[in-house]
Amino acid sequence: MKMFRQGDVLLERVEDTGLTGAPIEREAGRLVLAHGEVTGHAHAVATKGAEMFTAMDQTFLRMIESGELTHEEHGAIQLDRGLYRVTRQSEYTPEAIRNVAD
């Protein structure tokens, strides 16, 4: 299994069995995996041959063609065709479990 981390976002390549779910719409032409709460930057894929959806309480990114995961403060990550599970890193505080701010 291939894994990629960019800041607070983890992508895990999973077997593509044709899974589908509720589509996530593009924002300004990009699929945004996570917005940066501190900087306003975003982890995003601009490749037209990609789709993102939720299924089984998880988020998935399907790369129909190769493309890049980009972020203004991190190096781009080349993604091959395939299905990726998207996970946001979380942290524990005494008040709550919350997403890491990037």
This prediction's pTM = 0.84
In this predicted model, what pLDDT tens digit does every residue of 54-63 receive, in sequence order?
Answer: 999 999 999 9
DSSP 7: T
What SS3 class is residue 30? strand
- CA angle (85 as vertex; 74, 9 as ends), nearest 5: 25
Q: Which mean pLDDT values do the consecutive 10-residue runs of the chain (102 residues) have?
A: 89 95 96 82 94 96 97 91 90 54 50
- CA angle (12 as vertex; 10, 14 as ends), nearest 5: 160
pLDDT above 90 coverage of the chain, percent: 70
